[in-house]
Structure 1
Amino acid sequence: MSRALFELLAEHASQGGDPVANRDAARWIKRKDAADLALMDSASAEPRIVTRQIRLVRINHNDESYFCTFGLPETEEEPPDLEIVDATPGIFALSVLEANVRPLSTVTAAVVKNVLDEQFHDNGSGYEGHELEEIISCFPSLVVYHATVPATYHEITDRVLGSILARTYFDGPISLEPETIYALTELFETDCELIPFRNIVQGVLSISWENLFLECYRCIEQLYGMWRFLELKNELNFALSPRDLAKLIEDQLSWRPKENEAFADLIKRCDEALISSICASLAVEGETHEKCSSKLAAMLYALRNNIVHYRPANSVVDKTDADWNIIIQAMLKLVAELYNHHARPFFGAA
């Protein structure tokens, strides 16, 4: 592992026209202790490549979990049951190699050559390894989160990633208000584990409000017709989940519920107080819960169509940041309501 890590640096220097001396000689980072060496040798590591700059590596070893991020700043307030800790040689090497992180482009070949050749003479006499700080400075900034106690949301890597993204979203491309960021952290950290969190992560990383809206909408879209499929599963005594039945029917018969009707049915079954609150925030009026939910569903479905389709009948979406924050908060509440209180039977979950 040490050889692979130092080979990345040597290749960087070589490509920059300033190759290191004795490139094939053994180099390593001074070890911290036996426990860290064991982690480097036997820990499991799961990379999540998010963008060219942003990566997360989940490391599990002896009931300890670490979440290591590149390309993100430290959170001002640590996510629940996580603490920021210093990187160790083992955690650093695993994270860099598993996530395929390259040396910083701003670090010149001459700097890398000096770092690798420092303390390392032609015959390696007296060489005891490089200090971690020397090597870590050549790579993108690494932040290490250690799980202090097991938490349910830690079990899904995208939930932890989403929590960190939301908590570090200070200068992103869209203007998320504190209330929207709070709603996002609640979704990632406390809501139902069946939510497709990767969609929400992709939405948070988007450069436009429209894409964040669509990723929230897609979370709801997969629930189309779930009560009808549940009834059909029971009628047929189908062994698998209603979701499996829905997939089978679509694959074999190319049939799926009509979108606008299925979406309206989902909204209608949400909690009446929640729908009333959302309608008030979006200036949607109706005398009854059924009328309110129907108008809300029609408004959100029309917004979805205007974003997705590019036809003469569809108008350009023109909303302020304040408008979008209210809409996204509403969508996050709907996602949480549907998954927290309705979706488990559809997935065959207890």
Structure 2
Amino acid sequence: MALTQSDIQPSAKGLEILEAIGDLHGGVEGFDGYELSAITKLFPSIEIFEADQNYEYTANVVRVLGALTARSYADGPIAPSSTTLNKVSDIFQSGSEHVPFENVLQGMLSISWGGFFLELYRAIEQLYAVPRLAALVEAWPTSLPYRNLADLLESHLAWRPKEDDALAKIIAECDDTIVAPLRESFSGHRDGDQEIAAEKIAADIYKVRNGLVHFRAALGTVQRTDEEWDDMISAMLDLVKDVYRRHGARFNLEPEA
């Protein structure tokens, strides 16, 4: 009944169906219906999800779609590990409501690792002005959301943060559970470990960004193995979730009185 109502078509070919159930039909002695196991193998696997309305994220269709896509991702053009896919799902389900979920979803649906990386980079890029604005507001209080303040400074004073410097300041604010994976995945080629400063990590991330965005011989192309890309994406997911947890509300909203 469920199969006929949902109009799910068999995945098996006609000959396979004939071989599986062709000898069994009404009028054959002893026939009392088909075994479910014989029928189900003729149809594609079905996964059913039920959205729990008690969760905040289920009110946002992009978050629901992102969580379902992460949990059911298989045989795509890239091959994120189960750990990375769990992090993607976690961002959609429990990340700050201010995370730009469209970017994360678009990244996961990209046909290349580089596309995924760039969408996560864009999510961080939006907050580049935050460290400077936080210092400014300490000296010049305002209730304007940081987003509005950044817009005013750029449109009236032509000010915007320098990208690698701003990224370094954002990374420097994070604790080592966030910084260590970034250091290992982006700056592992450098000598030392704990001695690699946020500025160098930011420079290495920015170099990957430039190599993907610009098409110049001097920059070369970004060559990484699937495992290396997976580590980089995993580290960026941690960074996105952390910075929006700390800064997302102040960036988009006026602070509560």
TM-score between both structures, scaled by the size of structure 2: 0.74
Mean Cα deviation higher: 170-179 or 217-226:
170-179
| Larger deviation, residues 153-162 vs 227-236 | 227-236
CA distance in 2, matches of 1:148, 1:197: 19
Query: What 5-or-longer segments of structure 2 have no aligned partner?
Result: 7-45
1:260 is aligned to 2:164: yes
Cα deviation 1:27-81 (Å, max 9, x = unaligned): xxxxxxxxxxxxxxxxxxxxxxxxxxxxxxxxxxxxxxxxxxxxxxxxxxxxxxx
The answer to whether the 8 Å contact 2:181/2:235 transfers is no
Equivalent of 1:313, from 218, 222, 230?
A: 218
**1:203-235 C-alpha deviation (Å, 9 max, x unpaired):** 111111111000000010000120221333454
Q: Counterparts in 2 of 1:237-248, with a 5 A limit?
A: 237-248=141-152
Deviation at 1:306, TM superposition (A): 0.6
Give the structure with the larger helix fraction.
Answer: 2
* 8 Å CA contact 1:180, 1:329 repeated in 2: yes
Q: Tell me the residue number matched to 1:200.
A: 104
Residues 286 and 292, structure 1, Cα contact 8 Å, conserved in 2: no
Task: Say which SS state the counterpart of residue 147 (structure 1) adopts.
Answer: coil
Aligned to 2:66: 162
Alpha-carbon shift at residue 256 of structure 1 (Å): 0.6
User: 2: CA distance between counterparts of 1:148 and 1:239?
Assistant: 36
- Preserved CA contact (<8 Å) 2:131 2:169: no
Quick one: structure 1 residues 347 and 286, their matched pair in 2 at CA, closer, same or farther if it must change by over 3 Å?
farther
1:209-228 superposed matches below 5 A: 209-228=113-132
Find out whether 1:331 has 2:252 as its counterpart: no
CA distance in 2, matches of 1:199, 1:205: 10
The structure with the largest strand share of the pair is 1
Match of 2:40 in 1: none
Question: Counterpart amino acid of 1:336?
Answer: K
Where in structure 2 are the equivalents of 1:4-153 lying within 5 Å? Answer: 145-153=49-57
> Over the residues paired in the alignment, what is the CA RMSD in angstroms?
2.7
State the alpha-carbon separation in 2 of the partners of residues 315 and 281 from structure 1: 19
Output the TM-score relative to the length of structure 1. Answer: 0.55
In the TM superposition, what whole-angstrom CA distance separates every residue of 1:192-213 from its partner, at most 9, and x where no partner exists? Answer: 1111000011111111111100
Distance 1:287 1:147, change over 3 A: closer
Number of aligned residue pairs: give it: 213
- Which letter maps to 2:80? L
CA displacement at 1:288 relative to structure 2: 4.6
- CA-CA distance at 1:158 after TM superposition: 1.1
Q: Deviations over 1:240-290 (max 9, x none)?
A: 21221001222233321111111111111111233124423552554656x
Any idea what the Cα deviations from partners look like across 1:3-44, whole Å, max 9, x if unmatched? Answer: xxxxxxxxxxxxxxxxxxxxxxxxxxxxxxxxxxxxxxxxxx
Whole-angstrom CA distance in 1 between matches of 2:193 and 2:223: 28
What is the aligned counterpart of 2:184 among 277, 280, 284? 280
Task: Name the SS of the counterpart of 2:174 in structure 1.
Answer: coil
- Distance (whole Å) between structure 2 residues aligned to residue 337 and residue 196 of structure 1: 13
Summarize the Cα distance change of 1:245–1:286 in structure 2 as closer, same or farther, 3 Å threshold.
farther
Identity of aligned residues (%): 38
**Which sits farther off after the overlay, 340-349 or 193-202?**
340-349
Do the aligned residues in 2 keep the contact of 1:209 with 1:324 (CA within 8 Å)? yes
1-side partners of 2:143 and 2:246: how far apart? Answer: 23
1:71-105 deviation per Cα after TM superposition (whole angstroms, max 9, x unaligned) = xxxxxxxxxxxxxxx8xx9xx9xxxxxxxxxxxxx
SS of aligned partner of 1:312: coil
Deviation at 1:312, TM superposition (A): 2.8
- Give the SS at the match of 1:161: helix
